[in-house]
Structures are given as structure tokens and as C-alpha cells.
A and B are shown apart, each in its own frame.
Chain A
């Protein structure tokens, strides 16, 4: 195996607290309480260790990072140790004073989430009245402060038909980039899959919309868009490969190769209290487990794309087959690809109500981990 390179980016999940209740939240079903969160000094140490390890960018995320009163202090520390700071926010609670403090601390960029282009629908998906208006205000504050703005839109069955309007919204907000992210189905989203999975015809129309907009808006708006796994033929290189580019620190200090890795059972993820980021990156069994190609089963092992997609997403393989070491079922060569074909048929049924994310909901009902073909 080739030498392990240092990571490029750290996703710092400062908290699981959030004013929104999106039914596809990427936080785990068991949300951390405020009392379990790392304190300011610990986060500063983590940021220093990240820079020393070779990390170049830090994404301050959550939950909603603005609920942490020490956010500006952490941004300043990141700047001081040489990290490029991005803020990933819902925009709720962002005001001019707060933003000025962050800019002064060296923040470089804001990624702002939108749940839809339509106000009523956006508020319904976010589970918070008034959220769409607050987001619009946050977007203008960011641009007035001179920071680059990325609009992040998670898309699914209940907003995909308005992708054209979402693109227009991003242009109207003077965003530099629009990230169109299809829902990934583990955790909360897996629980809500029947309400979220788009139909094939919706997806085809959306893809055509993106292609036309990209041509029309070249140099005005950069649009990042990737086909969703459930309709894919080949898997994505999830996180650029396990333990290759990214690491994630959870609110309670667990160090993960991706933000969803806690859905995997049978792996012990070390905490920042137990070891340095460097020790964890280079030597922990959890990061070694799916790094490179040695762990791969067939058909990955002999596949010419093994160092392109790195076997796809471990969390998706686990969510669908119960075994994280299998080929991602998104790959048409996977023996489990039929699982997705069965699930896709569900998209033609009526959408059930959302199960909104909330604290402790995770312990009441366990997620469905294995899906069988319909």
C-alpha cells in the first residue's frame, strides 16, 4: 500500500444542537447533549493538532455551530494556526454583530443551507416557521460582509421539482457556488427514506435542469451536483476514500473518517482525549480498517476503478447489507445492487409524513438496517 498522506480537511462538528429539525439530518440518531460537548480549550488543542498533522481547511459545522458562544474564539484560533476556516450554518441566529466578529477572527467562507426555494415548503422541511426568511437575511449579511457564499441545498422527492427555482434563488442571493446534495440514506434519512427518495422522472428532469443552468451560468454560479447513489451505476469515492482526505471530530470528541461512521457497528473510534489526531490518523485500527485497497472484497479487489471510487461508501454498504466490508450496493457490479432496485420502486408510492429529528428519538425505535427487495 502506498504511504498514508496527511488529511486535507477537518470537519469540526462543534455541537448537535440545532434550531432546525430536518428529517434527513446527517447527525446520528443518538444526538449528543450540550453537557457532553468538548470545551473551548479542547477544541483549540484539536485545531492545533489538525494543523500540525497537515490539515489545510477546517469546516465548522454541527448541528448549528452558531449556538456555540465560543465560535469566534475557535475561528480565531484556527486562523492563528494556519487553517482556512469555513462556516457551515443554517443561518438562523446569524446577525451582523456575530458575523463581524467571525470575519474579524479570520473566517474565509460561509456555506448556508436552504431547504427549498419555496418559503412554506422550506419552513416545513426545516421544521421551523420563519426559517426561510432568516436564511435570506443571513445570505445578504454574508455578502455585505464580503465573504464568498455557498448555498447548500439538500434535494429529495419533496423539493427536487423546484431545483430550477433553487438555482435562481442562489443567483439572486449572489452566491458563488451552489452545492446540490442528494440525500444520503443512513441515520435520520434512512428512517425517512420513503418520504425522501425521488422518482426516476424527477431525477432526470433535475439533471437536465442542472446541465442547462451550468451552461447558462458559467462564471456566475458554480454548481456542484452529483447523481444520487440510489440511481447510480458506479459508487462515489465517499470522502475521497476512507482515511485518505478527511477526518471528522464529533461534539463529544470522537474522531471519525466520515460524519456518518458512527452508524457502523464493530469499530472503536478513539476520542481526542485518548490520543492525538496524528496518532489516530496514522495508527488507529478504525482508520486503518477500510483505508486503501487491501480490505476490499471482489468485485472491488480486481476492479480497475478501485483507486477511483475506493469501493464507495462504507456506511451505505452497512445500512443496506448489514456488512460495512461489502462493495457499496450503488455499484452495478455489486451482488447487492438489487437491493436498490427494490427500494427505488418505493418512490412511486405515496410519501409518508416526516419523522423530524429530535433528541432521544433514536432510542425509541431502532433504524431499519437491512432492506430487502420488494
Chain B
């Protein structure tokens, strides 16, 4: 058994939270948090908005489309930010295909 190859993704990829990673609202802190092995992520408001769109059904492209619609911002700017954040979380094994 050896590690799988690095996961990269295209716009039509559907990402989901890795098993044993939990994205939930913490009542005490009144904030969304990500719980992963020995790691707690405290995403800011923008990151939360992206993570809320990671539902195991939307493709990366449709996540970007939705954010473009909400913010009325140039698509390439939003796409750059979103893909960078998602790739980082895939590398950290928080998200996977």
C-alpha cells in the first residue's frame, strides 16, 4: 500500500470533505469551524462562504459561478482565489475528489 498520486482537479471536479473532517457551526464561538485530525481551522467569512458550497454535488466551476453571481466580480479574480484555496485544502487532505 503506497500513497496515491497528488490530487489535482479541473473545473468539472466535484470536491467533498475528506472522511473524518467536519465542517460545522460552533455555538459557543458563533463561528464556522473545520475539525480535522489534530487540527482546527477557523475559516474567515469568505472561506466559509466557499466551504458552504462544497456539498459533494457542485462542481468547482459551479462553485465559482455562484460566487461570481453573488459578488458581481470578474470571474478570473474569483476563480483564482477559489482554486488556490481549494488546492491548498486538497493538499492538506481536508478536501478530496
Contacts and interface: CB of A to CB of B under 8 A. Distances in A.
B19 interface: yes
Contacts of B8: 219
Contacts, number: 68
Interface stretch (B46-54, B65-73, B78-86, B89-97): B89-97
**What is the interface residue range for chain A against chain B?**
20 to 34
A367 interface: no
Given A84-B22, A109-B20, A147-B20, A59 B38 contact: yes
Interface string B7-49: 1100000000011101000101100010101101000000000
Contacts of B22: 84
Given A6-B29, A54-B29, A219-B91, A150 B37 contact: yes
Contacts of A177: 37, 93
Contacts of A148: 18-20, 37, 93
B4 interface: yes
Contacts of B5: 219-220
Give the residue among B2, B5, B26, B38 with the most A Cβ atoms within 10 A.
B38
Interface string A127-150: 000000000000010010011101
B74 interface: no
B20 A56 contact: no
Contacts of B90: 219
A346 interface: no
B1 interface: yes
For chain B, what secondary structure do more than half of its interface residues adopt (helix, strand, loop), or is it mixed? loop
Interface string A239-267: 00000000000000000000000000000
Contact of A218 (B26, B38, B91): B91
Contacts of B7: 219
B28 A108 contact: no
Given A54-B29, A218-B91, A222-B93, A109 B1 contact: no
Contacts of B40: 8-9, 56-57
19 contacts: A56-B40, A57-B40, A84-B22, A108-B37, A109-B37, A111-B38, A140-B1, A146-B19, A148-B18, A148-B93, A150-B37, A171-B2, A172-B2, A173-B1, A177-B37, A218-B91, A219-B5, A220-B3, A220-B5
